[in-house]
Amino acid sequence: MEFQDKAQSEDASVGFQMLSNIRIVMVNTTHPGNIGAAARAMKTMGLSELVLVEPKRPIDDEAIARSSGATDVLESAQIVPSLEEAIEDCGLVIGTSARSRSIPWPLLNPRQCAEQSVLTSKRQKVAIIFGREDRGLTNEELAKCNFHVHIPTNPDYSSLNIGAAIQVICYEMRMAIELQVSGDEQLWGVEWDRELASSKELDGLIDHLEQVMVTSEFLDPENPRYIMTRMRRLFNRAMPDKVEVNVFRGILSSITKKLGR
């Protein structure tokens, strides 16, 4: 599925630039395909800086295939001989962790990780470190981090591959910025093409509906119970626009005309 963003605006707008300060670090990766998947996951969310610490195999055709066009991220990826070098310029370092360690560390969920990262990225580099496919990061590597982040999973089946983990972490980075840029959650919800019906127009619709309900002998005006309240609640929470109200009133008028004959 190729998702296209609804807003086709330049991603260089205020806010999203911060993503260029967030670096993904992969340590001792075994399968180049996973490096490609990481590049794709990063780029879909607007991240671009990938650093590889001693990958076991170099970037190859499989990596390029899995990157699905995010080859610019692969091409600009730095390969460094040590984790220290990968993170030395970063103001915030967060390591992904699956297990409880001998010494507990401040643990963030992916959302908290993103919020802290986005805040720090306004002025400084941030690194999120992902470990080996089979056994993650060592205690020594985790001890170099400010925080650890843990992606919640099903305890009976926690087979989250590294590409999926990077996708989730990068998605949260983008969400944190989207919500920050929009100020609140106005960006989401109903962004309507028509003006919403006024309260008066809605009242007119409900009155009209009530007449038809009485004329058709569905509603006994002597014993209305809560039926009109239910109808009002239904239309109110649908927040109809002016066109929808007009269509509905058109239907009711046609019915009234037919019934009158």
Written as six digits, the tokens of 90 are 């970063």
Residue 66 contacts residue 37 (beta carbons within 8 Å): yes
Task: Please give the C-alpha separations between residue 164 and each of 14, 38, 118, in angstroms, as whole numbers.
Answer: 27, 8, 20
Give the interface segment with its own copies, choosing from 49-57, 83-91, 117-125, 231-239 (CB under 8 A).
231-239
Under rule CB under 8 A, residue 206 binds its own copies: no
Residues from 157 through 196 that contact its own copies (CB under 8 A): 157-165, 167-168, 171, 174-175, 178, 185, 187-193
Binds its own copies (CB under 8 A): choice among 136, 141, 142, 208: 136
Residues near its own copies (CB under 8 A), total: 97
What number of other Cβ atoms are within 10 A of residue 149's Cβ?
26
Binds its own copies (CB under 8 A): choice among 62, 80, 107, 232: 107
Per-residue binding string, its own copies, 41-70, x by CB under 8 A, is: x-xxxx---------------------xxx
CB of 124 to its own copies, least distance (A): 18
Nearer to its own copies (CB atom), residue 80 or residue 255: 255
Under rule CB under 8 A, residue 23 binds its own copies: no
Give the interface segment with its own copies, choosing from 50-58, 76-84, 87-95, 241-249 (CB under 8 A).
241-249
Under rule CB under 8 A, residue 251 binds its own copies: yes
CB of 30 to its own copies, least distance (A): 10
Hey, what long-range contacts does 138-145 have (CB within 8 A, 24 or more apart)? 139/101, 139/102, 139/103, 141/27, 141/83, 141/95, 142/95, 142/97, 142/101, 142/105, 143/103, 143/105, 144/83, 144/84, 144/87, 144/93, 144/95, 145/93, 145/94, 145/95, 145/105
Written as six digits, the tokens of 94 are 């967060």
